[in-house]
Chains A and B, each alone.
Chain A
Amino acid sequence: MSSKSVFQEEKNPRGIPKAPFIANVEEYLGGPDGAVETPLKNFQDAIAKSRKYRYMDANLTQRRKGLEDKIPDIRKTLHMVEFLHETREGKNKNDDLEDDLSDEENSDNPKKPLITTFELNDTLFAEAELEDTDTVYLWLGANVMLSYKLTEAASLLRSKLDLAEASLKATIEDLEFLREQLTVMEVNTARVYNWDVKRRRERRLAGEVKKDG
């Protein structure tokens, strides 16, 4: 009778152990006379495994929700940066055309400053004029804000977005895989238990027959 630890057999790419399906309960437990303790121990293993799976499930669901919230934000920010970049490109082109005319610093003709309404508070907005600079500031969280040139900012945001999207995809895959394994584990537990009940009943009946006979 082999109480093999079946739980280290396979893992999926991100280290979630695969739950093997016990096709033949009897064989797994080592024949009809397999010791009674082994199935019990295996129930407990299975239950512990289910608990771990459930915990991981909760974790991943949380992570997925966080990512789903962040991704639209990153998209918006990237869009803004690209827009600013384009606006500047447009202005610079105009500049080149009128280079000989205006050597002074930024006077009216090619410059149309961007007026924007920004949020001071939840219900309060104010108007401001954006300076024509190629530097933007990105809030990276944890009280950290860095200044970037427009192009650097765009590439940083793009890579953040790609990372987040890939992570989200992986998390969703993991969740599905996890649900599968959880089900397999629960089915195993149920089958081993049922088989054990059946076996006890058979033993009892066999015992009674022997007594009568």
Chain B
Amino acid sequence: MASTTPSQPQQINVADLDLQQLSDVRRQLEEELNHLTNSFAQLKQAQAKFKSCIENVGEVKPQNKGTTILVPLTNSLYVPGHLSDAENVIVDVGTGYYVKKSRAQATKYYETKVEYIRTNLDTLQETIQKKQENMSYLVNVMQAKLQQSQAQSSKV
């Protein structure tokens, strides 16, 4: 039975591989799957962070301008104060650049980021699924082979 593994760089005939090679391939697939799942989790984390940034920007509203807030100066030092600028926030856009944006701009910026991560997550999800299918297919073939070889050795 000639069956080829889907979506591999070279078309290998899985049935041709012996058990040892099959288990190698399986281990490789498992590693890739782990790696992908980790990346997925990290992306989800980053997305959650950006979502919370959107909320934070929402807090910097003009009506809060006069209220007393505790301003963090370091990890453990807070000083009472109040918002001086309720229209602009400063956003870290990476590689050491900080941009002063208006609240609306900042919200838009974060929402774009969230959207971008969402599309990445979707693609990643698909890839993970495909890999999982590959893996289960491979396991099936392995089991079939095992049975085959057992049947043969019992005949002998």
Q: Do A and B make up one complex?
A: yes
Report chain B residues within 8 Å CB of A115. 84
Whether B71 lies near A130 (C-beta < 8 A) is yes
A121 to B76, CA, bound (A): 15
A117 to B60, CA, bound (A): 13
Whether A122 lies near B92 (C-beta < 8 A) is yes
Report chain A residues within 8 Å CB of B69. 128
Report chain B residues within 8 Å CB of A153. 77
A-B contact count, CB below 8 Å? Answer: 108
A98 to B130, CA, bound (A): 77
A163 to B88, CA, bound (A): 41
Whether B81 lies near A129 (C-beta < 8 A) is yes
Is residue A10 contacting chain B, with contact meaning CB distance below 8 A?
A: no
A126-B78 contact given A118-B71, A121-B56, A131-B68, CB 8 Å threshold: no
Whether A121 lies near B70 (C-beta < 8 A) is no
Is residue A84 contacting chain B, with contact meaning CB distance below 8 A?
A: yes
Is residue A73 contacting chain B, with contact meaning CB distance below 8 A?
A: yes
Sorting the interface of chain B by its residue count into under 10, 10 to 19, 20 to 34 or 35 or more gives 20 to 34
A20 to B93, CA, bound (A): 60
Q: Which of B60, B70, B74, B78 has the most CB of A within 10 A?
A: B74
Report chain B residues within 8 Å CB of A122. 49, 53, 92
Binds B, one of A23-31, A53-61, A133-141: A133-141
Report chain A residues within 8 Å CB of B57. 120, 124
Report chain A residues within 8 Å CB of B78. 136-139, 145
Report chain B residues within 8 Å CB of A128. 69, 71, 81-85
A127-B88 contact given A121-B53, A133-B80, A136-B78, CB 8 Å threshold: yes
B45-62 at interface with A (beta carbon < 8 Å): 49, 52-53, 56-57, 59-60
Interface of B with A (CB < 8 Å)?
Answer: 49, 52-53, 56-57, 59-60, 68-85, 88-93, 98, 106
Could you give 5 example pairs across A and B, Cβ below 8 Å?
A: A77-B74, A116-B71, A126-B85, A127-B85, A145-B78
Interface of A with B (CB < 8 Å)?
Answer: 73-74, 76-77, 80-81, 84, 115-131, 133, 135-141, 145, 153
